[in-house]
Amino acid sequence: MTTKARTEYEVVVGVEVHVQLKTRSKMFCACPRDYYNAEPNTHVCPVCLGAPGVLPVINREAVHFTILAGLAMGCEIPAESKFDRKNYPYPDLMKGYQISQYDRPLCVGGALEIEGDDGPKTVRLERIHLEEDTARLLHRDDGAEPYSLIDVNRSGVPLMELVTKPDMRSGHETAAFLRTLRQLLRYLEISDADMEKGSFRFDVNLSLRPRGTQPLGTKVELKNMNSFRSAQRGVEFEVQRQSAILESGGRILLETRGFVDATGETASQRSKEEAHDYRYFPEPDLPPLRIPAEEVAALRERLPELPDAKRARFEREYGLPHDEAALLAETRARAGAFEEAVRAAGDPKRARAVAHWLIGDVARHLNALGADAELADTRVTPAHIGELARLVEERTVTASSAKEVLDAAFESGEMPAAIVEARGLRIVSDAGAIDEVARRVIEANPKAVDDYRGGKESAIKFLVGQVMREMRGRADPNGATEALRSHLEAGR
Amino acid sequence: MALTADEVRYIARLARVALTGDEVERMREQLSNILDHFQALNDVPTDDVPPTAQSLDLANVDRPDQTHPPADREQVLANAPRRENGFLRVRAVLEA
Ligand SMILES: [Zn+2]
């Protein structure tokens, strides 16, 4: 008997990402944009409160930030763009409509390269447009009735919306896209892109189809994911749930589902099932935007070296392996610290050593401070790292003393050379002193000596370690090895 | 251009306005009259006019990214029917 082969399903994923832009003022008024630590309703004015008779005025920097994002992802920047009113009744909209862009977005097309499941992959973009964020609602219940509290500070914050084509094929690829996008936005310094602060928010659209077929299945929209991991888990849960339904001959409902972090599952959000009718129309208060080619060219000049280009240059220029170069290029701050430290080390050949310090012991110190900590948050500067790499290479200190020097530098901020002198960590190369210790170590470790003489070459490593320990890590390891060897050979 | 009663009810729901049966009929007549009135625009020849979202010949009305002091919160909240701890307070609204 043969069993019927299970149909294998492929998930097709697209995402919509909302990014708050890091301007000084809001999108259409001069209220301060950064409301993160502000008391409720203290960053508001008649414009963002939606008072009658006010006139919004476009923040040119927000337009530029959006175009920068578009240029970094190879979008087309149409010569003319406009804003529209998106109408829907909800108390987070002070005017009863949101100023958004309907059919003439600032950026069209484009793509982002990600690490896909089967190697490098291109995720195409549909568009990027600019709109205003809504007020923040807190839902409460005082026992007498449910009610909502409104904080208008967020209303009118510049919000960039990016929509991809359905090009991702797994939860992992979905998370990879979001990570790569966030990295790019931070490189461009146009957004904090901080999920906890709400400046990077996303929804996922997905559907399943039998592998090898073309038509898309019924679309499900996933909301409420607040980490890359939850994006991945949400997609993976939906693949399981929908495959099971399709296997048993059921049908997928067109619906919006919310991800529940505690269970890793998704639940239907029935309230949103009906189709919205936003009745978009051109915003009469905002004349269209014309973006001349010279302006786009000037913005292109503002683009920094982007993560992929930087990583490739680190490999080429400093001879770093791909993974090390990628780690160093992960943030602009880290990449900058690396190159500054290499300059401080005084020789590009020391780049590899500098990289090892940054990826190894320095990263350990930074991780202890928090996930997003950078060297600039500590008392250690790139000059410290460069000097430390130089001291090790010039054999002023041993590698093991250098770790102690680094720890001390994180404590006090003192420069490595000064720490070496103050703590007496200078390498001991004096043959007499090393020889004396080597002799004692050989006497105290007859077993290792026998092993070595019996042909176990590696036993000498243990003995070198003992010499280092006796000399508190300061012995020149080459000198120690030589001294040990001569005693061991002599006593055969 | 006559609207149907269903269209009137749909528009009323989008605006979150509750209408009685009589009101639906009255609105149907009034809204239809308004639409008829604007039909006059369709008689204007526009074959040679490029489409635009703007009737004013303006573009790029924008401002530099500078802040001004925001409004005084007391003044802002003074207009609110209800307030709580510096927030505006409204009755719970369910979406859709
Ligand atoms: Zn304002």
In a domain, B29, yes or no: yes
- A3 CA → ligand 1 middle, Å: 66
Q: Determine contact, residues A381/A345, Cβ cutoff 8 Å.
A: no
Q: Determine contact, residues A253/A218, Cβ cutoff 8 Å.
A: yes
- Read off the pLDDT of residues A239-251 as tens digits, 9 standing for 90 and up: 999 999 999 999 9
In a domain, B80, yes or no: no
Q: What is the pLDDT of residue A270?
A: 66
- B67 CA → ligand 1 middle, Å: 9
Q: What is the pLDDT of residue A316?
A: 96
Residues of chain A contacting residue B76, judged by C-beta atoms under 8 Å apart: 41, 44, 49, 152
Interface A–B counts its CB contacts (< 8 A) at 124
**C-alpha separations of A161 from A46, A217, A257, A292, B80 in Å:** 25, 25, 20, 22, 31
Q: Determine contact, residues A185/A18, Cβ cutoff 8 Å.
A: no
Q: What is the pLDDT of residue A274?
A: 59
How many domains, in total, are found in chain A? 3
Strands (E), A83-145: 84-87, 97-100, 107-108, 111-116, 119-132, 136-141
Optimal mutation site among B9, B14, B60, B65, interface A, most CBs of chain A within 10 A? B65
- Read off the pLDDT of residues B19-61 as tens digits, 9 standing for 90 and up: 999 999 999 999 999 999 999 888 899 899 888 888 788 999 9
Q: What is the pLDDT of residue A1?
A: 47
Q: Are residues A277 and A372 in the same domain?
A: no
Q: CB-based contacts of A111: which residues, under 8 Å, 6+ apart? A: A73, A74, A122, A123, A124, A125
Domain final residue, candidates A389, A406, A423: A423
In a domain, B1, yes or no: yes
Percent of chain B with pLDDT over 70: 97
Q: Are residues A335 and A435 in the same domain?
A: no
- Cα separation, B28 vs B3, whole angstroms: 6
Please name which of A52, A28, A19 lies closest in space to residue A156, comparing C-alpha atoms: A28
Q: Are residues A318 and A225 in the same domain?
A: no
Of A57, A279, A290, the CB nearest to B59: A290
SS3 content of chain B, % helix, strand, coil (to 5): 40, 10, 50
How many domains, in total, are found in chain B? 1
> Which residue range(s) make up the domain with B10?
1-44
CATH number of residue A478's parent domain: 1.10.10.410
Q: Are residues A126 and A201 in the same domain?
A: yes
* Low-confidence residues in chain A, pLDDT < 70: 1-5, 270-275, 491-492
Give the mean model confidence (pLDDT) for residues B74-91. Answer: 92
CATH number of residue B29's parent domain: 1.10.20.60
- A135 CA → ligand 1 middle, Å: 12
Q: Are residues A219 and A333 in the same domain?
A: no
Q: Are residues A382 and A441 in the same domain?
A: no
In a domain, A299, yes or no: no
Q: Are residues A282 and A398 in the same domain?
A: no
Residues of chain A contacting residue B86, judged by C-beta atoms under 8 Å apart: 39-42
Q: Are residues A361 and A253 in the same domain?
A: no
Of B14, B60, B67, the CB nearest to A277: B14
Domain final residue, candidates A423, A451, A469: A423
Q: How confident is the model at residue B96 (pLDDT cuts 50, 70, 90)?
A: very low
Q: Determine contact, residues A28/A57, Cβ cutoff 8 Å.
A: yes
In a domain, A300, yes or no: no
In a domain, A152, yes or no: yes
The answer to whether residue B95 scores a pLDDT higher than 60 is no
In a domain, B49, yes or no: no
Of A62, A272, A286, the CB nearest to B95: A272
Partners of A85 in the β-ladder: A99, A281
> Which residue range(s) make up the domain with A466?
431-490
Q: Are residues A97 and A126 in the same domain?
A: yes
Q: What is the pLDDT of residue A266?
A: 95
Please name which of A126, A203, A201 lies closest in space to residue A165, comparing C-alpha atoms: A126
Partners of A168 in the β-ladder: A13
Q: pTM for the full model?
A: 0.88
Partners of A298 in the β-ladder: none
In a domain, B36, yes or no: yes
In a domain, B6, yes or no: yes
Q: Determine contact, residues A211/A239, Cβ cutoff 8 Å.
A: no
Domain final residue, candidates A240, A262, A294: A294
